[in-house]
Structure 1
Amino acid sequence: MDCVEITKELIKIDSSNLKGANKAIDFCKDILISNGLKPEIIENNGFKTLICNIGSGNKKVILNGHLDVISGTPDQFIPYIEDGKLYGRGSADMKSGAAGMLNTILNLKDKNLPCKVELQLVTDEETGGFNCSGYLVNNGFTADFVICGEPTQLGIGIQAKGILQVYLEFTGKSAHGSRPWLGDNAIIKAYEAFKLIENLPFTKEKSELYSHPSINLSKIEGGDVYNKVPDYCKMYLDIRFLPEQNPQEIIRQIEEITGTHVNIHSMGNAVKTKVDDIHVKKLEESISKISNGKTEVFGQHGSADTKFYSNHNIPAVEFGPTGQNWHGKDEFLIVDSLYAYEKMLMEFILNLDSI
């Protein structure tokens, strides 16, 4: 099977649950074993991770891909190709990237490589990544450079915003709904606080790859009946901050302007890979050589498993084939981009001796 055929077989496996994701790992393990390789399966809290190494030398590169997907309808797990596009859940995010990485290992396994290459296939990126990639990096599975095969349209996502998910609680005074002036509406207080937060100093800051951070008012809880002024409101915010920003300073600014305590639900660091990192420049060269064009280098707004390696000061990037509508109804991969992606990975690895 080539990389597209492997992707199609992976799409057929509903890996939106743990059982299916682990089944996808076993499928990839069987392919590697049948080609003479010796993959290792690591299990943590029930989540399987596949590790497979080739090459030798002092330098090491990790190819990291996730096989888990978000839920989909039954028809989304029946892959089909139309007009050069492969449709199906995970076709873009990111079974194609994982398949390209796996096939790259197969194509390079008998070559005299200038470095070690470690394939990591994981099963929990969509739910946080802590049981697989997070576990791996904390247990010594590190490298000089990491590529996560997320769909990037064959560009390089070298940085990613940090994530700060918080909630704030507001209290007011209840009153009859026909006389709202006798009460103190907690929902209005929350919304007025949100408008103030939108204009705090941290929201105006920029960086080399981003024009601003983002704030999403994701949920409001308050009130119980029509004819009562609500005396309590809980407001949830999803803040994506710039690599150079300090989340504690963001919290300080919010508390100062609202007079309300900020409760942290979750917090994740930004990815801070440098634009001029030598591995990034070499990857740019390899992509440009295969595509005969300039490589786009950009910052991601969302989060991926790159964050775990960046936490250990390991340069990590997102780099994957071209697709659209991931997490959507008509998710698809541009088939030719996957073949190009595989060539770019091989070009990059085979020429690492020049670094």
Structure 2
Amino acid sequence: MKSIVASVGTGTPVIVLNGHLDVVPGLPEDFEPHTEDGKLFGRGSYDMLGAVASMMVLMAELAKTAPACNVVLTLVPDEESGGEAGTGHLVKRGFVGDIAICGEPTNLNIAIQAKGILQLIVKVPGVAAHGSRPWLGRNAIFQALESYRTIASLNVFEESTPFFDRPSLNLAKISAGKVFNQVPDSCVMGIDIRYLPGQNPDELLNRIRTSLPDAEIYVHLQGSPVDTPPDNVWVRKLRRYAKTDFFGQDGSADTRFYAEQGVPAVEFGPSGANHHGPDEYVEIRSLFEYKEILKKFISNIKDDEDEI
């Protein structure tokens, strides 16, 4: 997979603008863009090709009059599938800065927190028996559902923060059974947990394993949460020009790769609705507003720092 990196200006601070070019699957008609009532419809218009277009236009404008800082645009191919080969790879190679702005859809608000990811494969045993005599076996599907309820009952899923009511717990996949006339002796669940900033994923995993001593549990994917300080000087300056609120994202984005390296990272993007769903759209006017906010932020990056 290939990423695109472009930069303009020199010196400090280094501002990273990050966007992903990949989109989730959709129906054929989702890939036929059209405009209506000031909205651009189409798969990826909101998440997040609209923001990418605004960033590209901004970079072209900045190239005419270089800013008093270094602006780095990184466009990556794989955020929707995990980001390891895109932003993850670039961050490991040193493409970081004093602040990273990922153009995820936020309706012109600024996400300074995001939940972490803990995706688990849980294999629950049962006892096989003839399907006509299920009482002679132990149905692994039923056992798995009970195991899921046990996980859901853990008090860690009742914790909250100022930005989040609770962690997220989703039974995403389940697989069991070979034939109709046999009680399944094994069931495999795929569980997607989005834990809160401040929660420890290792402790969470240990709690789950302790509560399910008979199950085999493997980590499929783990990703760090984002907890960017709201009083960071660059974050505060961005908020000044955006004139908007801070919030927390339930989902995960490439901000996590920057956060893992101690780089203040935020999600900030244009307005729209229905990303990953039917009738996805971005508000065309917000694309221009978004570009102008970023331009003012960058053009005035060294002005009035003591007043922020």
Class of the TM-score when normalised by the shorter of the 2 chains: over 0.9
Q: How far, CA to CA, are the matches of 1:252 and 1:169 in structure 2?
A: 16
Q: How far, CA to CA, are the matches of 1:245 and 1:162 in structure 2?
A: 9
Q: How far, CA to CA, are the matches of 2:280 and 2:92 in structure 1?
A: 33
Deviation (angstroms), 1:57: 2.3
Q: How much is the aligned-residue C-alpha RMSD, in angstroms?
A: 1.5
Post-superposition CA distance 1:17-69 (Å, at most 9, x none): xxxxxxxxxxxxxxxxxxxxxxxxxxxxxx22221111222211011111122
| 2:74 corresponds to | 120
Query: For 2:63, which of 109, 118, 122 is the aligned residue?
Result: 109
Question: What's the % identity of the aligned pairs?
Answer: 47
| 2:41 corresponds to | 87
Residues 8 and 66, structure 2, Cα contact 8 Å, conserved in 1? no
| 2:216 corresponds to | 261
Taking structure 1 as reference, are residues 171 and 77 closer, same or farther at Cα in structure 2, changes over 3 Å only?
closer
- Does 1:278 pair with 2:233? yes
| 2:283 corresponds to | 334
Q: How far, CA to CA, are the matches of 1:236 and 1:121 in structure 2?
A: 30
| 2:292 corresponds to | 343
Q: How far, CA to CA, are the matches of 2:189 and 2:5 in structure 1?
A: 42
- Does 1:158 pair with 2:112? yes
Q: How far, CA to CA, are the matches of 1:66 and 1:258 in structure 2?
A: 38
Deviation (angstroms), 1:112: 5.1
SS in 1 for 2:179: coil
| 1:232 corresponds to | 186
Post-superposition CA distance 1:139-165 (Å, at most 9, x none): 111100000111110111111111111
Of structures 1 and 2, the one with the larger relative CO (CA 8 A, separation 6+) is 2
- Does 1:71 pair with 2:13? no
SS in 2 for 1:221: strand
Q: How far, CA to CA, are the matches of 1:203 and 1:179 in structure 2?
A: 38
Q: How far, CA to CA, are the matches of 1:186 and 1:112 in structure 2?
A: 64
Amino acid of the residue matched to residue 289 of structure 2? Answer: A
Query: For 1:315, which of 264, 274, 289 is the aligned residue?
Result: 264
Deviation (angstroms), 1:190: 1.1
| 2:301 corresponds to | 352
Q: How far, CA to CA, are the matches of 1:229 and 1:242 in structure 2?
A: 38
Q: How far, CA to CA, are the matches of 1:245 and 1:57 in structure 2?
A: 37
1:1-355 to 2 correspondences below 5 Å: 47-111=1-65, 113-259=67-213, 260-288=215-243, 295-353=244-302, 354-355=304-305
Residues 50 and 282, structure 2, Cα contact 8 Å, conserved in 1? yes
Post-superposition CA distance 1:188-238 (Å, at most 9, x none): 111111111101121111123111111111112122333332221112211
SS in 1 for 2:2: strand
Q: How far, CA to CA, are the matches of 1:183 and 1:127 in structure 2?
A: 39
Q: How far, CA to CA, are the matches of 1:229 and 1:320 in structure 2?
A: 50
> Structure 1 residue runs of 4+, over 4 Å off?
none
Q: How far, CA to CA, are the matches of 2:61 and 2:189 in structure 1?
A: 52
Post-superposition CA distance 1:126-146 (Å, at most 9, x none): 222111211111011110000
Post-superposition CA distance 1:236-288 (Å, at most 9, x none): 21111111111111111011111133211111111121222222211111011
Amino acid of the residue matched to residue 225 of structure 1? Answer: V
| 1:3 corresponds to | none
Amino acid of the residue matched to residue 224 of structure 2? Answer: N
The answer for unaligned runs of 5 or more in structure 1 is 1-46, 289-294
Amino acid of the residue matched to residue 340 of structure 1? Answer: E
Q: How far, CA to CA, are the matches of 2:24 and 2:139 in structure 1?
A: 38
Which has the higher mean CA deviation after the structures are superposed, 223-232 or 86-95? 223-232
Amino acid of the residue matched to residue 132 of structure 2? Answer: S
Q: How far, CA to CA, are the matches of 1:72 and 1:256 in structure 2?
A: 40
SS in 2 for 1:245: coil
Taking structure 1 as reference, are residues 172 and 48 closer, same or farther at Cα in structure 2, changes over 3 Å only?
closer
